[in-house]
Amino acid sequence: METYVVRMWLPDRPGALGAVTSRIGAVRGSVVGIEILERGAGRAIDELVVELPSHDLVDLLIHEIGQVDGVDVEFVEPIAGAIHDPRLDALETAAILVGAASPEDLLDALCVHARRTIGASWAAVVALEDGDLRACDGESPDPTWLAAFVEGTRLLTHGESGGPEDVVWAPLPSSGHAMVLGRTGTAFRALERRHVAALARIADTRFRELRRSRSLAHHPSVAATESFSRPRPTLVSVPRP
């Protein structure tokens, strides 16, 4: 079986999704996952995970879904490996972030796994103060552009994510950084933007913990305590002959 992600627009009314799944069944496809990405103005954007017996059926699948009144297919993409489960992916990413052993490892893991979980073309962490690129996965834009983009959208939207639909960002206030993700041709929807914000909050909390642990480890009082608690050699008195 071949597995695909199908993103589509459909009327936000009872029966619309059922009509779509019937069409998918008509081409011998099976729906194994459903996620509602956004709703509003009488329409919904849904993402289905569909299994097909052959990749030769993709064009027929798109045609059949398009026959449902008011439904438009945004894209169909193959999935390599295990079945795509956004909720499980997010939990696994959160577990990896919480287990990071250093701030550097944390930022690297955030880029790699946020990009995978959200389905972005690239992910980057940029320092807001000096515009330096601290971590990256994929071919991201120039760090100067990233910092300017974050600053500009932050000022325009009073701290909320904004700007182009194919770029999303979230602050990491404890570190003075921001995570930015982008992709070409496909907008980030409301649910995906919430996922990005949630992963950034988890990473920011872990960053505070790691920074505090590092500060305590280098504090003079800690060194003095370790020295005091270190076992002292025992002196043995040997009687003279």
Q: Residue 223's pLDDT band (boundaries 50, 70, 90)?
A: very low
Quote the crossing angle between the two packed helices 190-217 and 86-98, to the nearest 10°.
10
Asked if 134 contacts 127 with a C-beta cutoff of 8 angstroms, the reply is: yes
Higher pLDDT, 69 or 156: 69
Express each pLDDT in 109-138 by its tens digit: 999 999 998 989 999 999 988 889 999 999
Average pLDDT on 2-17 reads: 94
Cβ-contact 162, 153 below 8 angstroms: yes
Confidence of residue 179 (pLDDT cuts 50, 70, 90): very high
Residue pair 206/106 in contact (Cβ under 8 Å)? The answer is yes
Is 233's pLDDT higher than 90?
no
Query: What pLDDT shows up at residue 159?
Result: 43
Give the DSSP letter string of 183-232: -SS-PPPHHHHHHHHHHHHHHHHHHHHHHHHHHHHT-HHHHHHHHHHSPP
Decide if pLDDT at 222 tops 50.
Answer: no
- pLDDT above 50: residue 90: yes
Q: Please, are residues 93 and 113 in contact by the beta-carbon 8 Å criterion?
A: yes
Domains, the chain, in order of start with CATH, read 2-78 (3.30.70.260), 86-217 (3.30.450.40)
Task: Enumerate residues 6+ apart whose C-beta is below 8 A from 185.
Answer: 75, 166
C-alpha closest to that of 154 among 166, 163, 165, 145: 163
The whole-number pLDDT of residue 237 equals: 52
